[in-house]
Amino acid sequence: MSFTFDSANLILILPEIAILVLACTVLVVDLYLKEEQKGINHLITVVGLLIAIGITGLVGGGERQVVFDGSYVRDAMSDVLKILILVVSLFAFVYAKDYLRDRNLWVGEYYVLGLCAVLGMSIMVSANNLLVIYLGLELLALCLYAMVAFDRDSTAGAEAAMKYFVLGALGSGMLLYGMSMIYGATGSIELATVARIAAEQGTQNQVLVFGLVFLVIGIGFKFGAVPFHMWVPDVYQGAPTPVALFLSSAPKIAAFALAIRLLVDGLGGLHPDWQGMLIILALLSMGLGNLIAIAQTNLKRMLAYSTISHVGFIFLGLLAGSEQGYAAAMFYAIVYALMAAGAFGLLLIISRAGFDAENLDDLKGLNQRDSWYAAMMALIMFSMAGVPPTVGFMAKLLVLESIVRVDLWWLALIGVFFSIIGAFYYLRVIKLMYFDEPVTDEPLTAGPGARVALSVNGLAMLVLGIFPASLLSICQGAFF
């Protein structure tokens, strides 16, 4: 391969360059900051992410472009997903500020790891060959392993990080093995070449089919789909809440991009084969995720099983195999990331020094303590349950419509059935906030940044639900 590092190529990767420069800046500046000046790291990160969002918007638009000898692609999907990853990551850092400060965890390393994870996600979104996809994935994964174990005094965090590392390495190994088999079957790591050979040979090439199986297993691990979900509840519960927030939101958007690049751009010719696998994963994820979430008393663990069920709905859109299905799955992944950020963000807001809010009982009587926070959490829970007019209802409707259009109406009925079951544990949270007596009278002392973030986050559930056309048209523009 011969790469040409001219200005035209470098302009397209300006978003990645901006994130890398931001991470390096925080790393260097942190060396010279005193303990009482650590807030500068937060300010640099927030401003830097806003600049990166602006740069991504300026660089994006126009026709699809492939540079660096086919390794990197800039298209409509990558533009949208990068901006959303940056926005959700911005929410995550704003929510985390007070929690980290109160627990003496307000250090530059947290921001550096988070920004490097964002860089990995950005690389995944624009990767156009198997090697670059894997490099972006591993950059993301290694940063997340360290972030889960970030609180060195937490034995639960250390245990969660070890489980995540072992199972994550297993998932990465499966994915890498699948990629190697696809390379062996096609003689190329370029997605365009892989797609052409897959369309020509199909299931006649047994090595290609075996590679596809391992790819789907790896994607299932990264999404946390059943039966590859074992790490999700333990990691969400054991990780510090800011890390659980980050882990549950932006990486799901990147995982969607991973699935699109590998299954659609690379192996679209084998759609009937991976469709059957995704049907099984979707059914198991929706069923087990919703049923086990009902029995949880730990809110972080409940949200983990909720994540598993939502992954099942994202898979429904993917397996439809149509542009409408892909756009619906993209819409759902974006909406879910925003919902997860808001739900975990509220837990950070009601936590305080010496106390981590993570049980359902901690939400009792929240309306009496702060009616605005309770209202925002209610909007987020209604959206997760798929109750109109919130955006969660529209996300579920679009996904179910896409599979009905390909005559998988029985699958849509099962999806509706599990949505009704899932509504129980979301509505239980609302019941606790509004109809139970509070267990403490401690005031909520979150800063103005977190309050503004949760307000935007919660109101977005309602505004996007009433006016979904703008976001939907953006998602459709990535595929139609």
DSSP symbol at 333: H
Q: Give which of 56, 90, 426, 18 is closest to 246, Cα–Cα.
A: 90
Instruction: Write down the residue that tokens 């994130």 correspond to.
Output: 19
The tokens for 97 are 């500020």
Q: Kindly list the distances between the CA atom of residue 398 and the CA atoms of 279, 285, 294, 327, 404, in Å, as whole numbers in the listed order.
A: 17, 19, 25, 9, 10
DSSP 433-472: HHHS--S--PPP---HHHHHHHHHHHHHHHHHHHSTHHHH
Q: Kindly list the distances between the CA atom of residue 31 and the CA atoms of 18, 24, 26, 150, 182, in Å, as whole numbers in the listed order.
A: 20, 11, 9, 18, 45
Quickly list H helices, 351-447: 366-369, 371-385, 391-404, 409-435
Distance spanning both ends of the chain, measured CA to CA:
32
The pLDDT of residue 251: 93
Distance CA 349, CA 195 (A): 47
Q: What percent of the chain has pLDDT over 70?
A: 99
Q: Residue 359: phi, psi to the nearest 5?
A: -105, 155
DSSP symbol at 129: B
The pLDDT of residue 420: 92
Question: Which stretches of the chain drop beneath a pLDDT of 70?
Answer: 1-6
Domain assignments of the chain as residue spans, ordered by start: 7-477
Hey, what amino acid is at 291?
L
Distance CA 411, CA 414 (A): 5
The pLDDT of residue 63: 84
Hey, what amino acid is at 25?
T
The pLDDT of residue 312: 93
**Angle subtended by helix axes 323-350 and 469-477, to nearest 10:** 130
DSSP 22-89: HHHHHHHHHTT--GGGTHHHHHHHHHHHHHHHHHHHHH--SS-EEETTTTEEE-HHHHHHHHHHHHHH
The pLDDT of residue 5: 59
The tokens for 89 are 């990551």
Distance CA 253, CA 88 (A): 10
Peptide bond into 389 cis (omega under 30): yes
Q: Kindly list the distances between the CA atom of residue 434 and the CA atoms of 312, 341, 444, 460, in Å, as whole numbers in the listed order.
A: 30, 22, 17, 21
CA 408 to chain CA mean position, Å:
26
Asked if 287 contacts 278 with a C-beta cutoff of 8 angstroms, the reply is: no
3-state secondary structure of 127: strand
Tens digit of each residue's pLDDT (9 = 90 or more) over 39-81: 899 999 999 999 999 999 998 877 888 888 888 999 899 999 9
What's the whole-model pTM score? 0.94
3-state secondary structure of 190: strand
219-254 residues labelled b (16+ CB within 10 A) or e (exposed): bbbbbbbbebbebbbbbbbbbbbbbbbbbbbbbbbb
Distance CA 424, CA 385 (A): 8
